[in-house]
Amino acid sequence: MRDDTVEAGIPSRLLSTRSFLSDEIEEKDMSSRAKGIAAFAAAVAAVALTPATSAQAATSAPYAEFFDNANYCCSSIYDPGDGGRCYNLPTYFVNTISSVRSNTRWILYSRANCWTDSGVPTLDYTGSLSYVGDQMNDKTVSVKVF
């Protein structure tokens, strides 16, 4: 006859201990998550409370916008500056980039994962460029924005 205090071979006392522990762990996880969120909210609030000196300050965050045609036309993909993290372009934009609007330094790579070697074209530039040049036109696969 089956003992009701045993589930899957574990005495019910142990089951309840296990469930108590898992509740505690869950609560700990939640509170550390909550702390993380609170810290993030505080950081955001601190930034928001810093008075902007001008409208210019609000729009000076580094970015680069990569366009599939020259002269900043027509479809584009926006990448915020992030210290030069490598970003592989989505399939649609692979081998299409012809111009770049930017207020910071960026690099175009003709291979995935910002890989490069001698003879593999790249373009390292700062600011906007209405045409990336014949060497890089329609050859960009990955980018970095600083």
In the region spanning residues 42 to 81, those forming contacts with Ca ion, defined by CB under 5 A, are: 68
The residue among 11 and 133 lying less far from Ca ion, judged by its C-beta, is 133
Residue 54 backbone phi and psi in degrees, to 5: -165, 170
Query: Which residue among 76, 98, 102, 142 contacts Ca ion (CB under 5 A)?
Result: 98
Q: Are 103 and 51 in contact (CB under 8 A)?
A: no
Q: Which residue is nearest to Ca ion (CB)?
A: 98
Which residue is listed with tokens 């680069």? 64
The residue among 62 and 96 lying less far from Ca ion, judged by its C-beta, is 96
Kindly give the residue spans of alpha helices, DSSP state H, lying in the chain. 12-49, 55-59
Distance CA 65, CA 70 (A): 12
Distance CA 128, CA 94 (A): 20
For residue 84, the minimal CB distance to Ca ion (Å) is 24
Query: Which residue among 88, 96, 103, 104 contacts Ca ion (CB under 5 A)?
Result: 96
Applying CB under 5 A, which part among 30-38, 83-91, 94-102, 106-114 lies near Ca ion? 94-102
- Contact positions toward Ca ion, by CB under 5 A? 68, 96, 98, 138
